[in-house]
Chain A
Amino acid sequence: MLSSIFGALGGLILAPLAGGFLSGVDRRLTARLQSRVGPPLLQPFYDVFKLFGKESKVTNAWLVFSAYVYLMSSAFSLFIFFMGGDLLLLFFVLTIGAVFQVVGAICVPSPYSQVGAQRELLLMVAYEPILILVFVGFAMCTGSFMIADVFKLDSPLLLKMPLLFLALGYALTIKLRKSPFDFSASHHGHQELVRGVQTEYSGPYLALIEIGHWLDLVLILGLCALFWHTSVIGMLILVMASLFTEILIDNITARLTWQWMVQKQSLLLGMGLALVNLLWLYVA
């Protein structure tokens, strides 16, 4: 028990390093796809250190509270993941962070962050059900919601839940704010929303959000890895493939508008994939 706690804590300390490095890879790959050289691999760390060195400037103190709660919830849900804990608990703890990021954005009377927050809420409506359904898929295969029980299975879950894996990829794109679902906080310097839901977070508090985002990245890739738990190489391949696909999709798709997302029922596409897979598990 104690060793697993220490293991999880160790993982938690390493996670920001891995997450930062992965987002460095992301930026580099994106640059190459766009025929640029791109920043050094460690650029995200430089950015965050620089942000920490900035003077704090906020409109409303609640924003600071929200930033810390967001980081805490990301860290705690990652801790639950490393402990092999309950997937539903992990999901609910992750929700705390998402809710507080939005609360922080709404508590400032700024049109940019408010619109970003509303869009973020819409995106949450799109990805939360998918995550729940994916976790239910795990429960149907292992008989419990415990992550530890996944490792008791003999064959990779990918064979049983391929569509759920795709659906998870869908949720992943939204959670990582990649195109075409990056309309709540665009990364690409577009004019329309400045930084959407993150407009008002600045300096050290933006750094906290950034670290929280790295942790989320590690968590989600970890979830992807669970689909091929039987071999370490398999896990690595799956994680790398997912990440590369995400980056590719990010670069070859245009951003949606939220109306498009609701009207074209793309909201339901991921859930539909998940549902079909669940029904299949139910029958098989």
Chain B
Amino acid sequence: MMNFLVFCCVVLPFVVGATLYCVQSNSLRTTLVPVTVLVMAMAAVGLGAGGPFHMEARHFLGLPLDGLFTLLDFVLLFYILVLGWNLRSRLVMGMTALQMIGLMYLKGVLAGHDPLITGFAPDGLSLIMVIIISVVGGLITIYGLGYMDIHEEHQHLRTSRQPRFFAIILCFLGAMNGLVLCNNMSWMFFFWEVTTLCSFFLISHDNTEEARKNAFRALWMNVLGGLAFVSAMLFIQKTLGTLSMEIVLQKMTALDIKSTAMLLPFAFLCLAAFTKSAQVPFESWLCGAMVAPTPVSALLHSATMVKAGTYLLLRMAPAFADTTMSTIVALFGAFTFVGTCMLAVSQSNAKKILAYSTIANLGLIITCVGINTAASMVAATMIIVYHSVSKGLLFMCVGSIEQRIGSRDIEDMRGLYNVMPRTATITAIGIFTMLLPPFGMLIGKWMAIEAIARATQAMTPILFFIALGSAFTVFFWARWAGILISSANLHEYPTSGLQRPTVLFALRTLCGVALLFSFLSPMVLKDFIGPSVAGVYARLNLRAEGFIPGAGFTGVEEYSWIYLLFIVLALGAWLAWRVTRRVPEKAHSLPYFSGLAVKQGNEIGFRGPMNVFEPARVSNYYLPQYFGEEKITRAVDVISTAFLIVLVGGLL
């Protein structure tokens, strides 16, 4: 049974993707994609319900699986090498060649005669990831069906490139599922490189000059990450004599003193994860990735790709617990958090705001990883789950808005509620789920702050960064929410516009998931995230100091306080809403304009000289003179590079 479920999550998307690419039929795609997504989601939930398991997986279709993966590793690297040749990039070619040499040495010399490793051994975290990837990623794929139709109408393509697009997306999802389920690191490496390649293809999908440039940047940065991954594997094989993640973790946590030689591979893994998760100074590839069609950005930012890096770190974290290296990782994450939050303040481009906020939240997750206690692990997992849902939702909203109003600038979204009522409402809900209690993201952030405050190492500077960063977060989210509902009319009576059914379905479902899962967050914490972390700590015989934030509030050692919070706030919001709806139309007045306010059409302004109507123009403060990209990106990059040098160089 497990075999079948794993097959559905990992291999099936590849098979369907290949079929879509070969058949190139529209009707087949519109039926096959939703069916595949549904099967994947069900299989993922099935896997999750079963709990952690072991699967040897020696053979696949009669072939030895380990040999197959080795072969695929080399084929893939060779393909990237050719790609580097076509792109005329010595950098990519050089780094890929180094990876091939490293892998050859690893497979041929170091690990030549080792016993076979258990193929799949997911823990609780992996299963949570599989569910996120399959459900959130699946919904984004369905959204893509409607989105890409309109997208290609705008582009006036002669032949549709959608078969290629959906084939790659499905492979991407399959690779992500494989990545989180694998136990053998060299298999994981294969999936790791597949996600790199898929993201390269997807970012360059529109084939414009800018798309190609940004895709190339994503490629070389992630190939650098791949090189770090190979180096890590080499060192792990050398010092610990195995590539099984389970055994690596057991051996590392059993050590009393972790010598620098033991820690070095984990520093390389951190480097690999930082490239994949687009931490500073590698943030530019993720910001550049927004040239791709929206479903791609939504996928890269929420369920897949960037979460692969945080997954790897979270899984490996116990191996380097209680070391200086761990503290440096936490500081690095906190610095990324505050740096990118500042950068987000200066942006008016909605996708860029979302991109920087993604990087910031990943930084927060990495801070929790670096704190490396059971409590911080719970916080990190919590943020991963809720960030995926809310960020996927927000990206899809921005995509729809852009297709309608032709701009992704938040200044152009003034009064959007009147134009696209449902999408604007969903966007505002998405923003509030990122920002305010009692929604899941904020509970994650709350747990993170408590976890950091209770940890012992270098807590003060980390807290300072987090506190400062979260204030900037409020800055850039609050004004966007205000803009969406901005209007000079008392009540808007919007007519609902046309929206593709698949797009609307995906938006509504994910919005529902975001709200429902926030409400269920006590259950999610108690039944999934808590036990998953506790399970890992129990298996590794680590001291787990769990705690329940705010438990003292209700006096109950449960998470029931969240319900209380939810009920009080929901009741308040509902009452406020009732009063709001009842404000009579005669209460309407024009905004204050020193007594000169005049309304013309839908615009407010005043009569200037010669009786000419002067509309009032308002704009947000973006403070480019303080937080502009050209002002601080360089400083952020330099400081973060210094962190990386300390992290890796300190151990060499």
Q: Which chain A residues have a beta carbon within 8 Å of chain B's beta carbons?
A: 1, 55-62, 64-65, 68-69, 72-73, 76, 80, 83, 85-86, 88-89, 92-93, 95-96, 98-99, 102-115, 117-119, 121-122, 124-126, 128-129, 132-133, 136, 139-140, 144-146, 148, 194, 199-200, 262, 271, 275, 278-279, 282
Contact = CB atoms under 8 A, between A and B. Distances in A.
Contact of B446 (A89, A126, A139, A144): A89
B437 A55 contact: no
B472 A125 contact: yes
B485 A93 contact: no
Contacts of A121: 474-475, 478-479, 621
B46 interface: no
A61 B573 CA distance: 14
A239 B589 CA distance: 41
A275 B489 contact: no
Contact of B483 (A106, A125, A271, A278): A106
Interface residues of B, number: 67
B442 interface: yes
Contacts of B569: 72, 76, 93, 96
Contacts of B442: 92
A86 B565 CA distance: 12
B593 interface: yes
A73 B565 CA distance: 11
Interface of B is mostly: helix
A144 B581 CA distance: 42
B579 A68 contact: yes
6 contacts: A58-B490, A89-B553, A105-B482, A121-B478, A132-B466, A146-B552
Contacts of B623: 262
Contacts of B488: 59-60, 108-109
Interface string B615-640: 01010110100100000000000000
A104 B592 CA distance: 14
Nearest to B552: A146
B620 A118 contact: yes
B50 interface: no
Contacts of B414: 109
A64 B616 contact: no
B453 interface: yes
A58 B449 contact: no
Given A1-B555, A93-B437, A112-B592, A118 B479 contact: yes
A117 B591 CA distance: 15
A60 B483 CA distance: 13
Contacts of A55: 587
A196 to B, nearest CB: 11
A140 B453 contact: yes
B590 interface: yes
Interface stretch (B163-171, B237-245, B456-464, B499-507): B456-464
B592 A199 contact: yes
Contact of A99 (B474, B580, B581): B474
Interface of A is mostly: helix
Contact of B463 (A73, A136, A148): A136
For the complex of A and B, list the 8 residue pairs with the smallest distance between their C-beta atoms, beginning with the closest: A106-B482, A110-B591, A68-B576, A72-B572, A129-B467, A128-B471, A132-B467, A118-B621
Contacts of B491: 61
Q: Max chain A CB contacts within 10 Å: which of B483, B550, B576?
A: B576
A29 to B, nearest CB: 30
Contacts of B116: none
Contact of A275 (B435, B460, B471): B460
Given A76-B569, A86-B550, A108-B488, 6 more contacts: A83-B553, A98-B474, A110-B616, A114-B618, A128-B470, A129-B471
B589 A57 contact: yes
A194 B592 contact: yes
B110 interface: no
Interface of B: 414, 435-437, 442, 446, 449-450, 453-454, 459-461, 463-464, 466-468, 470-472, 474-475, 477-479, 481-483, 485-491, 549-550, 552-553, 555, 565, 568-569, 572-573, 575-577, 579-581, 583, 587-593, 604, 616, 618, 620-621, 623, 626
Nearest to B547: A144
Contacts of B454: 139
Contacts of B587: 55-58
B340 to A, nearest CB: 15
B394 to A, nearest CB: 17
Contact of A145 (B450, B468, B575, B588): B450
Contacts of B618: 109-111, 114-115
A163 B583 CA distance: 47
B581 A61 contact: yes
A58 B588 contact: yes
A212 B457 CA distance: 39
Given A80-B553, A92-B442, A140-B453, A99 B568 contact: no
B604 A103 contact: no
Q: Max chain A CB contacts within 10 Å: which of B478, B577, B588?
A: B478
B495 to A, nearest CB: 18
Given A103-B481, A132-B463, A108 B591 contact: yes
B572 A133 contact: no
Contacts of B468: 129, 271
Nearest to B475: A121
Contacts of A125: 471-472, 474-475
Given A68-B579, A107-B482, A262-B626, A89 B552 contact: no
A117 B589 contact: no
Nearest to B593: A110
B576 A72 contact: yes
Nearest to B345: A125
A58 B482 CA distance: 16
A146 to B, nearest CB: 5
Contacts of B490: 58-61
A278 B436 CA distance: 27
B453 A139 contact: yes
B474 A128 contact: yes
A148 B461 CA distance: 27
B191 to A, nearest CB: 38
Contact of B576 (A65, A88, A110, A145): A65
Contacts of A95: 436-437, 474
A108 B486 contact: yes
Contacts of A145: 450, 453, 549
Contacts of A93: 437, 569
